[in-house]
Structure 1
Amino acid sequence: MILLKQMIILFFVMLLGFMMARKKIIDRKVSKSLSWITVNIANPALILSGSQGNSIEKKEMLFLIVLAFGMFLFLIIMAEIIIPIFRPDNSEKGVYKVLFVFSNIGFMGFPIISSVYGSKGLLYGSIFLLPFNILIYTYGIMCMSKQKTGIKQKLIKLFNIGLIAGITSLVFAVNKVTIPNVAGQLITMLSALTAPLSMMVIGASFTEISIKQIFCDIRLLIFAILKLVIIPLIGIVMIKCITSNNILQGVCFIMLATPSGSMVAMMAEQYNGNYITAAKGVALTTVLSVITMPLLFAVMGI
């Protein structure tokens, strides 16, 4: 029920974006501007907001950070192995990798975690925002960007606002730094822009994508099944061998089972990746996840 409610909310925000695009209120130029705001202002604020009010023992924090980074490393390795098998075009290869690695943990994962596992689960889940945002602004940009640059230029590009926010959030969480009230309210206000802006841009992209294009793309359908079913099942078996903490197991499973993150489309828009493929991947996995997530939860008994 929680997942269904979240899907309905996302659907109507995307529908709003679609309607505004049809009315020419959101055109390509506006869409790119909204993407810039999301990637460079709203999402970094969301990263920083994850460190507010959270306290945890340093030993447990270190274990969770290692586990979170390990999970993303597993996904990256699998992406590098599996995606070339699909033989995507050069313009799509990077997009498929980012769609595979980065899920919608912030906009879909957190509401589900909060409802099922409460504040403890939400605290565990917030740890995953750190590797997510650090890696999406590094590995994600490298996969999306079409421009070929040297190592020095790549390092300069990777040291951006998203990476800075990720490192800052980690430092704050480990040292239990309290953000001043005014700054905290500002961060919370800006972070709240992330979901609606990203969903509206995704919805606006539907004017360029037909339903037939989404559901008749066999390669994308196979990719979606792999992303939403096979990888979560493999991942949870591995995680159960690492920890017996039921809450942590459930949080990790939700992180793996959620659809491709809307931030992938935002990154494609901002860094000149194949935006249409990214939007199609986000749309398809989001729709299918309504079926796959409840089924997986029932099968695994989580």
Structure 2
Amino acid sequence: MEVTSVILAISTMGIIIVFGALIALKISITAEMKNILMMIILNLAVPFIILNGVFNTKITDVIFQQVFLVFGISIVFNAGGIILTLVLGRLLHLNQPKQLALLAALGNTGFIGIPLSATLFGPLGGLLAAVFDAGLDVVLFSLGIYLLQSNQKFQFKQLKALLNIPLLAISLGLLYVISGWEAPIIFKQLASMLSNLAAPLAMLYIGFLLPTFFQVGRRFYFQGLWFPLLMKLLILPLFGIICLRFTSIQTDLTFLLVILTSMPTFMLASVLFSRYTQEENEAIMVTVYSTLISILTIPLISWIASFLL
């Protein structure tokens, strides 16, 4: 993977974010408009990135092994990241160490990671990124919700959030591969066209959020903000690179994992914090800042990985 490809892709996405912010300055972006755009991205564009990866990739035993490997790595990395940041947060005597640990450890591998991976690594990259995101979801809706709940009682009903359209697309894709069928041309073209919507729409959505976030009178900082930003965008990705250097994983797959571990804070943070802690402002700040800063840190992490891997 060439670092210039990463810089070009990130720069293009950054420009689209600016376009979204300019549009939001001109017209009022309502909650209904945001919900519609989010629904299109998560329930239409992202699932078809997954299906496009299945339809346009020759699924061999090696790729099957990569699917299970990526899923396992995702669970270990994300769960380990939460535990590590939680311990560090308590050692540093930070306020709300559990919330900060989730913001510092879990990345936006679905909303940004899948489209970016498909752009950089092709259909297979989008498929494997979706598998990584599925592992992150398992950690988020088990260990993550456990930490957010005040009574800290795990309930199996909270796992129902795992029953979503992207996960369904992964399941259908694997069943399609096992069946050995050949997808009709129209399905392949449909998957290719709709998958191309994900990245630009996701960046426009982020741009729509910026004018509201930076409105006059809003609080833009809280004590401990530096911790999730530093851990999520630099420390954990660098730790991941060091770990990957001592493995025998194929080079292309290691670079894909580097990209996914360097994603900004996960998009659902504000929603989950609002539901379980009623303290969503901190989550919104970390999400917005990490997304904007990641435009610089993702190419930086990729450049470092190009020397170490």
**Under TM normalisation by the shorter chain, which class is it?**
0.7 to 0.9
Q: 1:272 to 1:182 in 2, by over 3 A?
A: farther
Deviation of the 1:218 alpha carbon = 5.6
- Tell whether the 8 Å contact from 2:240 to 2:258 is kept in structure 1 after alignment: yes
Distance 2:255 2:211 in 1: 36
CA distance in 2, matches of 1:89, 1:208: 27
Cα distance per residue 1:59-90 (max 9 Å; x no partner): x2243123211221123313432454354498
Give the 5 Å matches for 1:34-183: 34-58=37-61, 60-82=62-84, 84=86, 85=89, 87-88=95-96, 96=103, 99-100=106-107, 102=109, 104-113=112-121, 123=124, 126-132=127-133, 134-135=134-135, 139-140=139-140, 151=155, 153-154=157-158, 156-173=160-177, 177-183=181-187
Q: In 1, distance between residues paired with 2:246 and 2:179?
A: 30
The one-letter code sitting in structure 2 at the alignment partner of 1:285 is S
Q: Which secondary structure state, in structure 1, belongs to the residue aligned with residue 67 of structure 2?
A: helix
| Alignment size in residue pairs | 289
**Can you list the C-alpha shifts for 1:233-283, whole angstroms capped at 9, x where unaligned?**
2222322333153333333223323x227xx43685699667765554344
Post-superposition Cα deviations, 1:206-241, rounded to whole Å, max 9, x if no partner, equal 122229979755633321221222212222232233
C-alpha offsets along residues 78-117 of structure 1, whole Å, 9 cap, x if unaligned?
3432454354498x66962674473732233443446xxx
Which AA in structure 1 matches 2:187? A
Native 8 Å contact 1:21 1:207 kept in 2: yes
Shift of residue 163, structure 1, vs aligned partner? 1.9
Q: Does 1:265 align with 2:243?
A: no
Q: Is the 8 A contact 1:40 1:161 kept in 2?
A: yes
Alpha-carbon distance in structure 2 between the residues aligned to 1:95 and 1:201? 23
Q: Give distance in 2, aligned partners of 1:136 and 1:201.
A: 22
Counterpart code for 1:12: I
User: For the structure 1 residues 242 and 175, does the alpha-carbon distance in structure 2 shift closer, same or farther, using more than 3 Å as the test?
Assistant: farther
Instruction: Kindly indicate whether structure 1 or structure 2 has the higher relative contact order, using CA contacts under 8 Å at least 6 residues apart.
Output: 1
Sequence identity of aligned pairs in percent?
Answer: 20
- Give 1:13 deviation, angstroms: 1.9
The equivalent residue for 1:12 is 15
TM-score, length-normalised on structure 2?
A: 0.74
Change (3 A) 1:30 1:269: farther
SS at match of 1:51: helix
Shift of 1:194: 1.8
1:234 to 2:236 alignment:
no
Verify the 8 A CA contact 1:50 1:126 in the aligned structure 2.
yes
What is the one-letter code of the residue matched to 1:128? A
Matched letter for residue 257 of structure 2: C
Aligned residue number for residue 28 of structure 1 = 31
Contact 2:131 2:170 in 1 (8 A): yes
- Partner of 1:209 in structure 2? 213
Aligned counterparts, 1:239-258, within 5 A: 239-243=244-248, 245-257=250-262
* Alpha-carbon separation, structure 2, partners of 1:191 and 1:124: 12
- Which residue type is aligned with residue 233 of structure 1? L
Whether contact under 8 Å (1:137, 1:158) holds in the other structure is yes
Residue 118 of structure 1: aligned partner: none
1:144 CA displacement: 7.6
Distance 1:220 1:205, change over 3 A: same
Q: TM-score, normalised by structure 1?
A: 0.75
Task: Read off the aligned partner of 2:70 and give its amino acid letter.
Answer: A
Contact 1:205 1:279 in 2 (8 A): no
Preserved contact between residue 198 and residue 266 of structure 1 (Cα < 8 Å): no
Gaps of 5+ in 2: none
Q: Which runs of 5+ in 1 are unaligned?
A: 115-121
Distance in 1 between residues matched to 2:145 and 2:39, nearest whole Å: 15
* CA distance in 2: counterparts of 1:33 and 1:203, whole angstroms: 15
